[in-house]
A and B are shown apart, each in its own frame.
Chain A
Amino acid sequence: MTRLPILKLVLATLALGAVQSVVLLQFDWFGDAASTATGPIDTLMDVTIVVSSFIFALVCVFLGYALIKWRAKPGDEGDGVPIHGNTKLEIWWTMIPVLIVVALAGYSWAVLDDIETKESNAMTVDVYAQQFAWTFGYPESGNKWAEGELHVPVDRQVIFKLHGQDVIHSFWVPEWRIKKDAVPGITTDAIVTPDREGTFQLVCTELCGIGHTTMRAKVVVESEEKYNQWVNGLEQEVPAFLMSADQALEVQRRAEERERGIQGSGVEETGSGNHAD
């Protein structure tokens, strides 16, 4: 049994992995960046790409070597060397991958904590998702609202409170790297600190029906002054047809009470446009 040229194989793996890494790192995989989360997430992706390149190179080099070296000659009816295994080697190729994935998981956890840290000066924006439109409420600016257009100031953390009105939708601005489902019945949070001014697109990424493809909204990130000007220019309060889950439940309960002929609590009807019946 010939000895394996282990050193050469390892060097070939390292070389191929390095080449792959260098080539793959040339690309800007996740596209434009416009929030503070993009730095840590994109770096995590780059690290993962490098690790993956070496693993893929390892498989390719060893597979290629085996195919070249031990390809049977035509007419060779013989058998290979009856090796059943190698316990030491098997322990190594179990333990090293464990270490790699645990390290990557730890790193991911740190990044996750980093991008979800809440800041004290964060502002809150309500996001109402319904088939097939986005509406935004600004509770800190007198509950003003705007449909189909989101404005936020640059360099300030925003906590988006997501309210699903009918089915599940998902809030995603690719340049922010942040995504969260808007689930009917509960309120979910998406935390973003936009750090670049510009106009972006909000995309619904959870299949929500026939109009899912077109469920987009314009996102404008602008300076604090411009933002204040814009939000102050809004006039109406959040309309009654948009409600949080608690409100929706309350409306539903009252509607049922009316149907049964039971006298309600005397509160005025808050709207008939309940989209979820």
Chain B
Amino acid sequence: MLLGAAFGFGLVVALRALSGLEIFQTEQTGYPHVVVPLITAPFGFLFGFGAFDYWFRWAAGKPTIPDDHADHGATRWQDYFKFNTDHKVIGIQYIVTTLFFFLIGGLLALLSRAELAQPGAQVVAASTFNGLFSTHATVMIFLFIIPIFAGLANYVVPLMLGAPDMAFPRLNALSFWLLPIAGIIFLASFLAPGGAFDAGWTGYAPLAGGAPLGQTFFNIGVQFAGASSIAAALNFLVTIITMRAPGMNLWRMPLMVWAQLATSLLVVGATPFVAGAQFMTLFDRVLGMNFFNFLEGGDVISYQHIFWFYSHPAVYIMMLPGFGIISEIISTHSRKPVFGYRLMALALIGIVVLSYSVWAHHMFVSGMFSWLRVPIMISTMLIAVPTGIKVFSWLGTLFYGKIHTYSTSMLFALAFIVTFTIGGISGVMLGMIPIDIHVSDTYFIVAHIHFVLFGGSVFTIFAGLYHWFPKMTGRMYDEKLGRIHLWLTVVGTWMTFVPMHWVGMDGMPRRVADYAAQYGDWNLVVSVSAFLLGAAQLVFLYNMIVSWRFGPKAGPNPWRANSIEWQVSSPPPMYNFDEIPRVVGGPYEYGTPGARHAIMGDDEGAAVPEPKPTTVAAS
């Protein structure tokens, strides 16, 4: 079943040679002898790796090899480098891979901050600088934030549902293996003639249309990352809809599961648009098409419409899973049910619906139809309402609770609430057209997105990683190091990103390698703080790596949480449950004597409390 990875690499080389030979003769536009292998090589790799074996056998009418579970579970560290269909292994593969890209993306950011520490050119040339921030954003968005949430959910969601695995384990493995491919393509663009793609992560036409070869690496890399996202999201949707344990109706699902459901709806609906935008740019570049070529009647602004129709929902793809994580942690550590659970779930769905109607707030100064601006402003500002509901409900959850702050995960969750509120407020400001006209494409934007994505998403990622680390590894992390990481990160985040608001409002544009001398002092503060923030992440990595190996054993349920994943051993057995659990109540029944969320198989005699009446009962 599993062909050796060595054979895969051999096939890659063969395909490269084949397509290379064939195309070499017509070499004139857009480096076809590079572009085509860039697409075929990853497929060759996946084929040789065994990603398609089962499906091809089935399609060819050959007897499929019944699953002997040889590729399930991991007993040695080498197993993590194989095509593995166990959602727990895949979850960890996702998390470790994406943390690796987090480091790469962070180094790219620090390089650009080194250049920006003083006015004038010091460290890198302007062309390299444009490549640095473009790859920084691309790697962080497509290879860190979006997929690490998929990784966390991959590990946790099937457990929370009481399911033995994801619905499509092979597709799940394929989703993961598309990611390192995308990462290698993005980073390989540094080796392309003309340097890495440097038109920003937004890749606006027509700048991207005429950019050097590196831009093609971006166009193609996004396809692999996007395909990974879409396949994973479909998998989550089917898993959540069909694989819930008996008794797990929609209103008994933990909010983490709700968040993953909402996120997956966004991914499935929106991600094809970014794929489309990049395909059109690619076709413009290498096939001589004219989607965005204004000289041939192409429409320049339509690129932005298509791109942002994905990329604004993408902001929520990067935030909703975090909302789910925070709900779990706050409820567990304040020993109370989530306040207004149903409204919290509905708010997630409300954000999904609204987020499809706000894309053009990135385009208030773009020269698009002016009539579109005011409706988009209103829907943009309205999306603050469901987001506000979430913040208020977390506060409501804390009230009358018993708040435990011994765990780093809870501290990150609390820090998230404060930091994210700032990001939300600056988001509302940006929704207001007259303010946006002044600050768009300035450092105010950079400050806002980092407050939302770092103070928002990344804080929730840390919270989630600390929260489920004992479950995944069976060991506890070091809380002291966790606190050091927390405080350095919180202080570093505020000191790095708060001054960016100020210089932006005062007139410093974004995406520049140099700036007026009057912004020098604050930029130095920003750069120094950015290095502090970067150093703080080394503490985190050290803690994770050392604790994984040497940490004290964690019991099955160190946080005394209610949801199902904590009712099995840490880490869980290969198929999660010896017997499928029965769900008998809501997920956060803290403080109600005798109330249970789920009854595990060996707990048959436990008293089943009267289920609470529910208005909506699914399955």
> B17 an interface residue at 8 Å Cβ cutoff?
no
Is there contact, CB below 8 Å, between A207 and B204? yes
With an 8 A cutoff between CB atoms, is B295 at the interface?
A: yes
A-B contact pairs, 8 of them (CB 8 A): A44-B434, A62-B399, A70-B398, A81-B336, A180-B365, A183-B300, A183-B366, A207-B204
Q: Which among B429, B505, B586, B592 is the interface contact of A52 at CB below 8 angstroms? A: B429
User: Which of A37, A105, A206 contacts B441 (CB under 8 A)?
Assistant: A206
Residue B281 interfacial (CB < 8 Å): no
Which residues of A from 105 to 129 have beta carbons under 8 Å from B? 105, 108-109, 111-112, 115
By a CB distance below 8 angstroms, the chain B residues around A86 are 339-340, 396
Interchain nearest-CB distance for A88 vs B (Å): 11
CA distance A180 to B440 in the complex (A): 10
Complex CA–CA separation, A214 to B127 (angstroms): 12
**Shortest distance in angstroms between B78's beta carbon and chain A's nearest beta carbon?**
41
Closest 3 CB pairs of A and B: A185-B294, A174-B507, A80-B401
Pick the contact of B367 from A45, A66, A188 — CB < 8 Å?
A: A188
B361-401 contact mask (Cβ, 8 Å, vs A): 1 or 0: 00001110000011001100110110011011101101111
How many A residues are at the interface, by size bracket? 35 or more
Within 8 A of A (CB), among B330-356: 334-337, 339-343
Q: Could you tell me if A112 and B374 are in contact, using CB atoms closer than 8 angstroms?
A: yes
Does chain A have a CB within 8 A of B414? yes
Contact bitstring A21-65, B, C-beta under 8 A = 1, else 0 = 000000001110000010011001100100010011001101100
Counting CB contacts under 8 A, is B200 at the interface? yes
CB distance from A262 to the nearest CB of B (A): 17
In the complex, per-residue mask of B499-511: 1 if CB is within 8 Å of any chain A CB, else 0:
0001001110111
A59 x B441 contact (CB < 8 A): no
Interface band, chain B: 35 or more
| Given known A85-B343, A180-B367, A185-B300, contact A213–B336 (CB-CB < 8 A) | no
User: Is residue B287 contacting chain A, with contact meaning CB distance below 8 A?
Assistant: no
Are A98 and B435 in contact, CB atoms less than 8 angstroms apart? no
Distance in angstroms from A133 CB to nearest chain B CB is 16
A101 within 8 A of B: yes
Within 8 Å CB of B265, what residues of A?
none
Cβ-based interface call for B403 (8 A): yes
A residues 192-224 near B (Cβ < 8 Å) are 203-214
Q: Which of B252-260, B420-428, B566-574 is the interface stretch?
A: B420-428
CA distance A81 to B336 in the complex (A): 7
The chain B residue with its CB closest to the CB of A29 is B505
Decide yes or no: A82 and B442 within 8 Å by CB, A185-B294, A186-B300 being known contacts. no
* Residues from chain B with Cβ under 8 Å of A212 in the complex: 126, 130, 511-512
B-binding segment of A165-173, A225-233, A265-273: A165-173
Q: Does B513 contact A (CB under 8 A)?
A: yes
A63 to B393, CA, bound (A): 11
Q: How far is the CA of A164 from the CA of B367 in the complex (A)?
A: 11
B590 with A205: CB separation less than 8 A: no
Cβ of B196 under 8 Å from chain A:
no
Chain A hits for B66, CB < 8 A: none
Is the pair A59, B418 in contact by a Cβ cutoff of 8 Å?
Answer: yes
- Provide the residues of chain B in CB contact with A115, threshold 8 Å: 434
Which among B398, B417, B514 is the interface contact of A213 at CB below 8 angstroms? B514
Which residues of chain B have C-beta atoms less than 8 A from A15's C-beta? none
**Complex CA distance for A208 and B337, rounded to whole angstroms:** 51
Q: Are A79's CB and B336's CB within 8 A?
A: yes
The answer, yes or no, to whether A252 is at the interface (CB within 8 Å) is yes
Q: B residues within 8 A CB of A259?
A: none
In the bound assembly, the distance between CA atoms of A101 and B441 in angstroms comes to 23
> Would you call A185 and B434 a contact (CB within 8 A)?
no
B126–A213 CB distance below 8 A: yes
User: What are the interface flags for B458-495 relative to A under an 8 Å C-beta threshold, 1 for contact and 0 otherwise?
Assistant: 00000000000000000000000000000000000000
Complex interface: chain B residues within 8 A of A89 (CB)? 396
Q: Are B403 and A82 in contact (CB under 8 A)?
A: no
Quote the shortest CB–CB distance from B284 to chain A (angstroms). 13
User: Is A83 on the interface with B (CB-CB < 8 A)?
Assistant: yes
A211 proximity list for chain B (CB < 8 A): 126
Q: How far is the CA of A266 from the CA of B421 in the complex (A)?
A: 65
Closest to B297 in A: A249
Contact B298 A109 (CB under 8 A): no
Contacts of B591 in A (CB 8 A): 79-82
- Quick one: which of A30, A94, A214 has the most chain B CB within 10 A? A94
Hey, which chain B residues are within 8 Å of A83, CB to CB? 336-337, 339, 396, 399-400
Return the chain B residue nearest A114 by Cβ: B434
Given A63-B398, A112-B434, A276-B294, A79 and B335 touching (CB < 8 A)? Answer: yes
Q: Which of A102, A105, A208 contacts B432 (CB 8 A)?
A: A105
Chain A CB within 8 A of B437 CB: yes
> Contact between B206 and A168 (Cβ–Cβ < 8 Å)?
yes
